[in-house]
Structure formats: C-alpha cells, structure tokens
Chains A and B, each alone.
Chain A
Amino acid sequence: MNATLAVEHAPVTREQWLPRIEALHAAGARLLTLWASDERDHGEGDLLRAAFLQPGGVVIVELALPDGAAPYPRIDELFPAAARLQRALRDLSGVQAEGGDRRPWIRHGAWSDGDAPLRRDFRGGTPDPTPYGFVRVRGDGVHEIAVGPVHAGTIEPGHFRFSVVGEKVLRLEQRLGYVHKGIERRFTELAPAAARRLAARVSGDSAVAFAWAFCLAEEHIRGVSVPPRATFLRALLLERERIANHLGDLGALGNDAGFGVGLAQFMRLKEDLLRVNAQVFGARYPMDAVVTGGVAIELTPAGAALLQQQFSVLAGETERLRAIYDDHAGMQDRFLGCGKVPGELARRLGVTGLVARASGIARDLRVDLPLPPYDALAVRCASAAGGDVAARVAVRFDELAESLRLGGELLRRLPPGEVCAPAQAPAPGGFGVGLVEGWRGPVFVALETATDGSIRRCHPHDPSWHNWPALEHAIIGDIVPDFPLINKSFNLSYSGVDL
C-alpha cells in the first residue's frame, strides 16, 4: 500500500485465536477493528478478522469459521472496545462471540436476530419490534433522564440515558445505531469510483481521511504508486480538514462554557478556511479531491500563495484566541477537572486519537508510522496529561498550531510533477488496507476486491468506536448540565460508527 506500512496476516486455528491475541495484548498492541466476510460463495463459511496496531505496522489475525461453527472466543475482556464491535458483528454478519453482552448494537428493529445484512444471500430482513433492554440503576432518589435520538441542537442522532441523583450522574448508557444506513453492504453494490465517494461519506467531517485510507487500500491491490506531488496535496487536504474541525470544536467548546464570543470568532475563521477551499480546490469541503492514484485537484502558484497567506493569518489569529481562552477564568473553571478520563483508564479502555493524547497517550500515526509525505515532515505529537475538557482543548490548540505549520511546510516543499498516476486496469482480486491519522484519530479501511474488479467487502472503521465507551466514564460524578461540554470535547462521530 505504501512503502512504510507493513501488514502481517496471521491465520490461526480456533485454539490459537485467543493465545495469539493475548500475546498481542501483552506486547502492547492496540486493537484497530474486528470484522467478518461471508465466504460461502467460495465454499467456506465466514472469515473473522481482528486488526491490531503494533510498533512495526498492522497485524491481522484471521480465523475461518465454517458454517455452523461454534461461537468464537470473545476478545473484549482483553480489549474492551471490542465489546460493541462483537455485538455489531452479530447484527450485521451473523457471527456470534462466546459470552458477553447479547443485546443487539446496530440492529434496532429494521431486521431480526438471525438476519445478517452482510451475507451475500441476504434479501431484506423482517422487522423486529422487541424493545431494547437498557440497564436500570436502582436506589434511593435515583431517577433516569432519557434524551434523543433527536437532540435540541444541530448534532447527530443518538440516545443517552442518564441515571442521576439530583444533578449528579451515576451512570450514562449510550444507545447508537440510529443513522445505520447500510454502508458496508452498499460498498459491494458500487463500482470502485463510486465506492470511493461513499468512503468519503462514512463520516463527512473526516472525508479526506476516509477517502485517503480507501485509496491506499485500492492502490495496494492495483499496485499503483502515487506521485510525490499527490501525496503532498493529500496531506495538505488532510491538515486543512483537521484545522477546520479543530476551529469548529474550539468555538463550540467556548460557547458551551458560556463564552459566545469564542464561537463567533472561531466560526468566522472556519468560514474563511472553507471559502479559500472553494477558491483553490473548487469545493468548501473537498470530499472527492482524493482519488485512486493521486488527487483530482491541481494547485496553481496563485492558489499556493493564497493558502500560504491563510496559514500565517490563522496562526496569528488562533494564538491570540488561545491567550484569551487561557486567561478566561470563567471558561477555565468549566474546563478544568471536568469530564476526566485519567491516563490509566484511557489505556485500559483502549482510547485512541485526540482523546487519548489528552489523557497522556502520545500516539499519532503521523509520527509512529508516518506514510509519505509525513515521513519527511517530523510531525510533533501533541499531548496533555490532564484527561479533562481542559486537556482536550489544549491538545486541539496544539494540533491546530502544528497543522498550520505543516501546511506551510507542505507548500514550501511541494514537489513538481504529476498529481495522479495514469489510469490502471481494473483491480485484480486482492486485499488491501489503508490507515490514516484523521483529526479524531486512526481511520482504517480494509478492502477486498473480486477478480472482475468489483468490491467483495469493504470495512471502514472510525476511531470513535474506541472513544464512545470512554465518554460513558467521563461523565460519572459530573453534573448533567456539564454533559454537552464534555460530549463536545470528545466530538465523536455517529455516522462513522453506525455505518
């Protein structure tokens, strides 16, 4: 896929599955994702895969599950983030883990237990009206507050159940899956170019990251090498996506802490960024700029000058606003100590990306496994120890400054040449993965094509999977009115996990 990402396939027997994953856990590997493919058309059952990130690259542990095989050994006791993935696997692929939470996760009522939408022979399910079994907290003075799926503001739909005493939160239970629209099955119905557009819309705020990851997987299968200029332009787009999201979040976080001026100022800067995107790349959100083989945009010297100028203006503006945020006693009072995820808890839960960096886990793929052009850029990884809203604000400010610096650097060192490799014959049958540090954290795509070039299976994975459970912990002991602020400081994707 690219010169730097090593992918090891580790086929195991049922007996080897757990020991192999225990060894990875002991060695400090991080779970990337868990998924299955229906291989019945090849005379087999399901192929279960668990992908892990380790210092040298990615390792994919593969377990063949013949038709009628016993449930596979669960891995959520080692990697808690797998708990929801295991439930989703059963809902979508009909593959069952041994033990663990038996409640559905993605499946609400549109199909029934036993219908498996990702099986090739699935022809629509039967609706299932069984209500979801929320966990009840009992005790003196405990009551429940249920919110969503439709919320008061402009945010994605999900359901949150708070068990509270007075205003204090004892427990939060999340129920997601509302925006499940069948993305994984849809991939198999689309030609590769349309599938790339779909990848960019797994989570619209991370369009560049997902499109890039999808293209890395496809380029690996096709043996395409991407021209250097294209990798620089991809990174430029990815850093601008990070900047846009951080600007929006910093404004919203100020607003949620009662500082409306912050929202007005940051939203102005974000709008400026989008307008320059429209001018230079032809779209406010260049969702389809990353294409197989390179990019579908070109950068003129005038465009480059405009971007360069904007990076330096934004650097000055955000530095000034950071000083205002840091000195604002009222805001700091809301940020500090609120929504805490201590480092030890973050490590145990397997928290990832930005949220992990704010809990002292300084991991960033642009530093740890830098794909071109990041290998030439010496990215500085942001991190903060606090694990609270203040730390997540600080990490955003640091990353914003770093992305603005990287943007300037990418422009200064932009190599000449082609922006896209010449068109290739359709992909031969194959398997590839892509891994990109999006603004929330590692974005992963696994792609499998058939010999005629069509897509057999595509599994996109958003880092939000690993951080949603941490949000349930972060609110414990805080008060209900702090939830919007804490939730915003995580800013997780619903679409990216509901799929």
Chain B
Amino acid sequence: MLDILKQIARVGIVAGRRQAEAAPGDAAADPELRAVGRAPCMRHVDAGSCNGCELEIHALGNVYYNIEASGMKFVASPRHADLLLVSGPVSRHMREALLRTHDATPAPKRVVAVGDCAIDGGIFDAGYASCGGVADVIAVDATASGCPPAPEAIIAAIERALES
C-alpha cells in the first residue's frame, strides 16, 4: 500500500497538459473553457476501423487529456448517450449495428466521425464490404481528421459537434 501511495505522490498531478498548442482561431484554442457546462455522455462505435483510432480514443481518458475532468464521459449504452463517436469506414457487416445504435440514442444527438476512414472511407474506400464514410450511413455533425487523429483533434471535433 505504501508503495502505491509513494508512486502516486512521486508522479504528482500531470492532468491538463496537452501536447500541441492549438492554432489561434482553432476551435480547440481553449478546449477547457469551451467544455464548461458541456458535459456530453458519449458512446463509441467502431464501425470497421483498423483499431488505430481506438488507441487515440482510449488516450482521451489518460491523465493528460483527462476528458472526464471537463465533464465528458463514456457511457455503456447508446440509450444514455448524447453523442456518438464513430470510427472506421462503415463495413457492410456493421451498417445495421451502427443504424441501431444511432436509433437507440435519444434526440437531440450528435455524431462525430473520428479519423480519415470515418470521413470518407479513407484507404479502405467503399467496395463490396465497405459502405465508405459514416456520413454515407448516418448524419455527421463534426469530423476529426488524421490517421489516427490526435486526441486534441478528437476533443476539438466533439466540441464543434456540441456547438453545431
């Protein structure tokens, strides 16, 4: 127990330090401020991703980005969600699950397409097994580009979606 406490004390508080300073005018210029009073419950849907985008979605919860401190949190059911984070091109095998998840999310709801694939199908494109981007299946409010997009870009897109 003592070792655990020592480790916690030794590391101290590292929360809130983001890597890149957002460019002036960028929606992420002051993400913490923008997020005040905006506390979305979010549900993530991997609609066919390579799993790279999931790695960065995971990072949102680490002590640096600490999105829970700004009131954003992940919930276990779409019925509890205000916002869907959707990654990947939408595979034909996930299309129905995505539509159902979207239907189960109560209105008003927002959708963020996370990553280049979610925007337009990316490297996988549309084909016999892929429908292409998320907007080809459900309405999208904001996008985070990148492959995978950095956590800052995902947070900025969430904030844009909430403002839309």
Contact = CB atoms under 8 A, between A and B. Distances in A.
A336 interface: no
16 contacts: A110-B128, A150-B97, A155-B54, A156-B54, A157-B47, A180-B92, A181-B89, A204-B54, A261-B4, A267-B58, A268-B11, A274-B59, A287-B147, A321-B7, A495-B48, A495-B49
User: Which 6 interchain pairs have the tightest Cβ spacing?
Assistant: A204-B52, A182-B129, A152-B76, A110-B92, A267-B62, A204-B50
Contacts of B77: 152
Contacts of B129: 110, 117, 180-182, 185
A178 interface: yes
Contact of B94 (A117, A154, A178, A204): A178
B63 A179 contact: no
A71 interface: no
B88 A285 contact: no
B93 A125 contact: no
Interface stretch (A136-144, A195-203, A372-380): A195-203
Question: Among B57, B127, B129, which residue has the most Cβ atoms of chain A within 10 A?
Answer: B129
A483 to B, nearest CB: 15
Nearest to A194: B123
B58 A156 contact: no
B101 A186 contact: no
Contacts of A327: 3
Interface of A: 108-111, 117, 122, 124-125, 149-150, 152-157, 177-183, 185-186, 189, 194, 197-198, 201-205, 207, 248, 261, 264-265, 267-268, 270-271, 274-275, 278, 284-285, 287, 320-321, 323-324, 327-328, 493-496, 498
B57 A154 contact: yes
Given A268-B62, A278-B19, A204 B53 contact: yes
Interface in B18-65: 19, 44-59, 61-64
A290 to B, nearest CB: 15
Contacts of A197: 123
Question: Among B8, B74, B101, B124, which residue has the most Cβ atoms of chain A within 10 A?
Answer: B124
Given A186-B124, A194-B123, A201 B50 contact: yes
B22 to A, nearest CB: 15
B143 interface: no
A117 B128 contact: yes
Contact of A495 (B3, B50, B56): B50
Given A185-B128, A198-B123, A265-B11, A248 B63 contact: no
A299 B154 CA distance: 29
A179 B4 contact: no
B148 interface: yes
A397 to B, nearest CB: 16
A102 B80 CA distance: 40
Contacts of B148: 204, 285
A271 B62 contact: yes
A324 B46 contact: no
Interface string B126-156: 0111100000000000000001101000000
Given A152-B77, A157-B46, A197-B123, A205 B52 contact: yes
B56 to A, nearest CB: 8
A324 B1 CA distance: 8
Given A117-B129, A268-B64, A201 B19 contact: no
Contact of A201 (B8, B76, B123): B123
B128 A154 contact: no
Given A109-B92, A201-B123, A285-B52, 6 more contacts: A155-B54, A178-B48, A180-B92, A271-B64, A278-B19, A328-B4
B3 A202 contact: no
A493 B57 CA distance: 17
B103 interface: no
B163 interface: no
A267 B53 CA distance: 16
B149 to A, nearest CB: 10
